């Protein structure tokens, strides 16, 4: 599933195509994706001008001059294809704008979603209401990490994946950030040493920033709207590298399963919880 850097890449790619442009035609080729599409989606968007585009956690936001915001979730395989040569079977919603551009929301697995809500009500929408601070936003910092880790017994990885505590982080970038901070993914939040938590503070935005600069990570379906593939996967230190050498110490990268997800880490650089002390 696309994480924060992939969604950010998509929305940045759409901005020069859509911002300030009027939707001249919006066609839904099926009634639903993960959920039913908003009633009269095409009618409500046709004629509207895009005011701005943005992102909240793993959701893309498209605000119009009609006081509505389109909330985009890419799901597992969703892509926004700009000016495709031909439309494909899985181009489920097609947007045409006054500058002659065409954007198709393509989603082979149909785990994505489109919701159209009043802009004023968007922060309270069920998809967005309970999301924590942005790791690239002004509310992020060591005080936030200290607060969300606190005395929690939950593993460090589970804490960072909890969208109610911090927004947009997924499996890939949590694994990479924990590696940079030297934190074992199973370490209970309350047992993370202050020095390691201090290392985690810059590690999270650094990993995200590098991934955004690389266009995200393309493991299967992700692509920028112009079709460009992300290449941050070439920079992974631990994710997906079980059995390979750690780039820091040459120990073998290990993998464990936490809540049904694979966690990758270096046993030497990220000592197991029982080996840590709070210094």
Q: pLDDT of 77-122, one tens digit each?
A: 899 999 999 999 999 999 999 999 999 999 999 999 999 999 999 9
157 is catalytic: no
**Active-site choice (55, 56, 58, 157):** 58
Beta strand pairing status for 79-82 and 102-106?
antiparallel
Work out the pLDDT band at 233, boundaries 50, 70, 90. confident
3 is catalytic: yes
For residue 25, the cross-strand partners are: 96
Q: Using CA atoms, how far apart are residues 222 and 204, in angstroms rounded to an integer? A: 21
**Active-site choice (2, 38, 135, 185):** 2
For residue 202, the cross-strand partners are: none
> Does the domain formed by 142-275 have CATH 1.10.8.50?
yes
Residues 107 and 79: beta-carbon distance below 8 Å: yes
For residue 49, the cross-strand partners are: 22
Q: In the numeric block, which tokens belong to residue 243?
A: 């059995």
> Does the domain formed by 4-124 have CATH 3.40.50.80?
no
pTM: 0.92
Q: Return the pLDDT at 145.
A: 98
Q: pLDDT of 162-205, one tens digit each?
A: 999 999 999 999 999 999 999 999 999 999 999 999 999 999 99
The sign one gets for the Cα dihedral 247, 253, 255, 258 is negative
278 is catalytic: no
Residues 117 and 129: beta-carbon distance below 8 Å: no
Q: In the numeric block, which tokens belong to residue 107?
A: 């989603």
88 is catalytic: no
**Active-site choice (188, 261, 267, 271):** 261
Q: Using CA atoms, how far apart are residues 263 and 170, in angstroms rounded to an integer? A: 11
For the chain, give every domain's residue range: 4-124, 142-275
């Amino acid at each position: 599933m696309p994480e924060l850097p992939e969604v950010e890449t998509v929305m940045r790619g759409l901005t020069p195509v859509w911002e300030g442009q009027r939707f001249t035609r919006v066609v839904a080729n099926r009634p639903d994706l993960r959920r039913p599409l908003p009633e009269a989606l095409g009618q409500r968007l046709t004629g509207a001008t895009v005011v701005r585009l943005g992102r909240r956690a793993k959701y893309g936001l498209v605000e119009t001059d009609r006081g509505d915001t389109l909330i985009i979730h890419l799901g597992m395989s969703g892509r926004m294809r700009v000016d495709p040569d031909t439309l494909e079977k899985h181009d489920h919603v097609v947007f045409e704008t006054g500058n002659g551009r065409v954007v198709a929301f393509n989603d082979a697995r149909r785990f994505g979603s489109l919701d159209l809500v009043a802009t004023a009500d968007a922060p309270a929408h069920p998809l967005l209401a309970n999301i924590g601070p942005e790791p690239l936003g002004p509310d992020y910092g060591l005080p936030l990490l200290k607060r969300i880790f606190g005395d929690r017994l939950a593993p460090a990885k589970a804490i960072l994946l909890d969208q109610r505590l911090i927004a947009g982080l997924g499996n890939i970038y949590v694994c990479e950030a924990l590696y940079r901070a030297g934190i074992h993914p199973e370490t209970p939040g309350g047992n993370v040493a202050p020095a390691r938590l201090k290392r985690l503070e810059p590690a999270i935005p650094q990993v995200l920033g590098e991934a955004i600069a690389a266009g995200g990570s393309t493991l299967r379906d992700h692509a920028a709207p112009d079709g460009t593939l992300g290449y941050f996967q070439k920079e992974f230190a631990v994710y997906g590298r079980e059995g390979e050498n750690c780039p820091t110490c040459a120990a073998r990268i290990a993998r464990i399963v936490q809540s049904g997800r694979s966690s990758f880490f270096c046993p030497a650089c990220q000592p197991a919880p029982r080996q840590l002390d709070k210094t």
